[in-house]
Amino acid sequence: MDKLPKIGLPILFVIVVLIILIAKSTVTIDSGEAGVLYKTFGGGVVTDQPPLGEGFHVVAPWNKVYVYEVRQQSLDENMQVLSSNGLEIRLDASIWYQPSYESLGLLHQEKGENYVQRVLQPAVRSAARAVVGRYQPEQLYSSKREAIQKEIFDETKILLKDQYVQINEVLVRDVSLPVTIKEAIERKLRQEQESLEYVFRLTKAEQEAERQKIDAEGKANANRILSASLNDMVLREKGIQATVELAKSPNSKVVVIGSGDGGMPLILGNN
């Protein structure tokens, strides 16, 4: 009976060791993640094989697995940059990125788990400074938001070449100028709008005046043509036609013939 505890202790020790070994020999990788295998006695980080995918994996207890999120992620950056004339501009942007899946081992080996701080953030900030430095404040405030966004994306993509990080999009959320500059730009924009409105009204008035002039000239030309066509023979014929039509009327009337060869009839009253 006294020997049982002595036999039980080694068995218990073996069981505990087995549990520890099993726990250290398995790894579960969640959805949207991948694992980088580090072989303690086999050359370190495995870079010539794809990373460990989602699911349950068994590894040697003396090896390690570093888990990375490989789905698209978002980085928010609030940056202070300078415009082309040296004014300080605050730029708020969001960067959509993810590590290169096939190069995850190289990323871990060369950049480490803090690759966002070591690689991505410096690249984005450098690109933003370079791009914003090409523009005047009023361009940043009004019409160049999309152009700046695309240029920062292109510049960052160049800087991240061969860095094992994939950038998917850069979104500029806000561009903030100094208050005095913002107010000056808004005044300038209002003045430009007022000037455009004045030019529009002036152009409209000129067009209306031109229309009235053309209309008056058309009427004057029509009157001149009509006057030129109304000779004595035409007037006499018109008068005769009018007299004949009036004579056909059943109402009684007095017809007075004018004096002279070209006298025209004059109709006086109805009875």
Instruction: Give the domain CATH number at 159.
Output: 3.30.479.30
End-of-domain residue from the set 28, 53, 69: 69
Question: pLDDT confidence of 186, banded at 50, 70, 90?
Answer: low
Residue 49 forms part of a structural domain: yes
Residues 99 and 52 in one domain: no
- How many of the other CB atoms lie within 10 Å of CB of 62? 12
Cα distance between residue 29 and residue 55, in whole Å: 5
Which residue type sits at 118?
R
pLDDT for position 197: 74
144 and 105: one domain? yes
Terminal C-alpha separation, the chain:
159
Quick: pLDDT tens for 78-109. Answer: 998 888 877 888 889 999 999 999 999 999 99
Domain co-membership, 238 together with 210 = yes
Q: Dump pLDDT digits (tens) for 22-35.
A: 666 788 999 999 99
| 50 within some domain | yes
Could you tell me if residue 267 is inside a domain? no
In a domain, 166, yes or no: yes
pTM over 0.75: no
Residue 261 placed within a domain:
no
Cβ–Cβ < 8 Å for 257, 265: yes
Residue 77 and residue 165 share a domain: yes
Lowest-pLDDT range of 1-5, 121-125, 220-224, 251-255: 1-5
Among residues 32, 51, 69, the one where a domain terminates is 69
Predicted local distance difference test score (pLDDT) of residue 1: 47
Percent of the residues in the chain that have a pLDDT greater than 70, as a whole number: 68
Kindly provide the residue ranges of all beta strands, DSSP E only, lying in 201-246, ordered along the sequence.
Answer: none
pLDDT confidence of residue 152: 94
Residue 63 and residue 87 share a domain: no
Q: What is the mean pLDDT of residues 6-32?
A: 73
21, 50: one domain: yes
**Are residues 102 and 194 both part of a single domain?**
no
| Full 3-state SS string of 23-68 | HHCEEEECCCEEEEEEECCCCEECCCCCCECCEEEECCCCCEEEEE
Q: How many domains, the chain?
A: 3
- Name residue 29's amino acid: I
If you search the block for the tokens 């066509």, which residue do you land on? Answer: 229
- Does residue 168 share a domain with residue 114? yes
Pick the range with the lowest mean pLDDT from 21-30, 57-66, 166-175, 243-252. 243-252
pLDDT of residue 114: 95
pLDDT category at 126 given cuts 50, 70, 90 is: very high
- What is the span of the domain harbouring residue 120? 73-177
Q: Please check whether residue 156 lies inside any domain of the structure.
A: yes
> How distant, in Å, are the alpha carbons of 22, 86, 104 from that of 108?
25, 39, 6
pLDDT digits (tens, 9 = 90+) for 40-76: 888 899 999 999 999 999 888 888 999 999 999 999 9
The answer to whether position 258 is within a domain reads: no
**106 found inside a domain:** yes
